[in-house]
């Protein structure tokens, strides 16, 4: 099994994700591109000691970028939106 810290890379803290935390108790994370929903749920439960009710994943495509005559692309990545049980909270998202 992959270590939970290798699955969950970082929280995504934006204005939209903060509103989702306040209204629907959902949290947004940047996760490993190879992780599935079951692995993500187990990793969140292990790291933060909460109960996960649901996981939605989104595959984000990297943007094309240019620097002078050189062109390239940012890497693809995966975003997970995790719904927690009522009453559970993650302290890193609290403002």
pLDDT of residue 93 exceeding 90, the answer is: no
pLDDT in the model for residue 40: 97
pLDDT in the model for residue 95: 58
* pLDDT 10s digits, 14-62: 999 999 999 999 999 999 999 999 999 999 999 999 999 999 999 999 9
Which one is predicted more confidently, 1 or 2? 2
Alpha-carbon distance of 54 to 41, in angstroms, equals: 8
Q: Helix, strand or coil for residue 1? A: coil
pTM to 2 decimals?
Answer: 0.89
Residue 90 main-chain phi, psi, to 5 deg:
-115, 120
Residue ranges of E strands in the chain: 8-11, 26-31, 52-60, 64-67, 70-73, 77-84
Alpha-carbon distance of 73 to 71, in angstroms, equals: 7
Q: Which domains does the chain have, with CATH numbers?
A: 4-86 (3.30.70.330)
pLDDT of residue 81 exceeding 70, the answer is: yes
């Amino acid at each position: 099994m992959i270590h939970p810290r290798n699955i969950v890379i970082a929280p995504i803290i934006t204005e939209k994700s903060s509103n989702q935390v306040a209204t629907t108790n959902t949290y947004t994370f940047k996760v490993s591109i190879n992780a599935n929903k079951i692995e993500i749920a187990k990793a969140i439960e292990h790291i933060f000691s909460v109960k996960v009710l649901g996981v939605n994943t989104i595959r984000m495509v990297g943007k094309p970028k240019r620097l002078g005559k050189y062109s390239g692309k940012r890497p693809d990545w995966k975003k997970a939106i995790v719904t927690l049980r009522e009453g559970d909270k993650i302290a890193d998202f609290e403002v």
